[in-house]
Amino acid sequence: MSRLFLIVGNSGSGKDSLIWEVQKNFPKDMKSIKVPKRVITRPPSPETEDFESADESTFLKIKEKGGFALDWHIYNLYYGVRKNIEEWLAEGHPVLINVSRKIIDMARDRYPDLRVIFVKVPYEITAQRIKERGRENEEKMKARLERARKNQDFPSADFTVDNSGDLETAGQILMDYIISEVKQAEKQ
């Protein structure tokens, strides 16, 4: 069994960019890192995020049939991670998932050996990134900005990475942490 990593941080903190950076540079001599596509109840937007789009009815049917390992509801959207992550973990692959901090306690109950990574970015940078990506309407953007203002820290994280500077540097720091944790899990 390998290690499950949940990455949390405010909207605009660069979680997806860091995940992509780790995927791109993960060592070839290790089991590949797996990043599942999340199922989200919003229209597809391939230019900003790679996910499986579903309407609410479809999402709730998948959930009802036990198809999600993790799921949550935030910003009037449903998010889910399919159960295939358990196969990947059993095969020895590390798994990295962008999730909401609100599911961490539930996730720790299901996967006690998981590690939580918090992506820290000053509020000013977060606000600028949210505005620049243009994914939300004015009301949704205000909700994300307000949540970001209130959540500048996450004390229950196992690791914090600062993503306010160079993406490659932050990505390397995150990858080094993941590799260290994977090697530690292999010894157990």
Q: Please determine, for residue 91, whether its predicted confidence score (pLDDT) is greater than 80.
A: yes
Q: Is residue 10 part of a domain?
A: yes
Q: Is residue 145 part of a domain?
A: yes
Give the separation between CA 172 and CA 149, rounded to whole angstroms. 27
Confidence of residue 128 (pLDDT cuts 50, 70, 90): confident
β-bridge pairing 68-74 and 77-82:
antiparallel
- Residues 151/101, Cβ–Cβ less than 8 Å: yes
Number of domains within the chain:
1
Q: Please determine, for residue 180, whether its predicted confidence score (pLDDT) is greater than 80.
A: yes
Confidence of residue 187 (pLDDT cuts 50, 70, 90): confident
Give, for 124, the enclosing helix (H) or strand (E).
helix 123-133
Residue-level pLDDT at 33: 97
Q: Is residue 70 part of a domain?
A: no
Label residue 96 left, alpha or beta by phi (over 0 means left) and psi (-120 to 50 means alpha): beta
Q: Is residue 74 part of a domain?
A: no
Q: Is residue 181 part of a domain?
A: yes
Convert the pLDDT of each residue in 7-30 to its tens digit. Answer: 999 877 889 999 999 999 999 999
Q: Please determine, for residue 144, whether its predicted confidence score (pLDDT) is greater than 80.
A: no
Mean pLDDT of 135-148: 70
* pTM, to two decimals: 0.87
Residue-level pLDDT at 122: 84
Q: Is residue 20 part of a domain?
A: yes
DSSP string, 54-123: --HHHHHHHHHTT-EEEEEEETTEEEEEETHHHHHHHTT--EEEE--GGGHHHHHHH-TT-EEEEEE--H
- Residues 135/11, Cβ–Cβ less than 8 Å: no
The burial of 119, by beta-carbon neighbours within 10 Å (0-12 exposed, 13-18 middle, 19 or more buried), is given as: buried
Q: Is residue 55 part of a domain?
A: no
Q: Is residue 179 part of a domain?
A: yes
Mean pLDDT of 158-166: 94
- Residues 37/128, Cβ–Cβ less than 8 Å: no
Give the separation between CA 94 and CA 31, rounded to whole angstroms. 7
Q: Which residues contact 28 (CB under 8 A, 6 or more apart)?
A: none
CATH code for position 180: 3.40.50.300
Domain range for 149 is 4-35+92-187
- Residues 49/16, Cβ–Cβ less than 8 Å: yes
Residue-level pLDDT at 152: 61
Convert the pLDDT of each residue in 61-89 to its tens digit. Answer: 999 999 999 999 987 899 999 999 999 99
Q: Please determine, for residue 134, whether its predicted confidence score (pLDDT) is greater than 90.
A: no
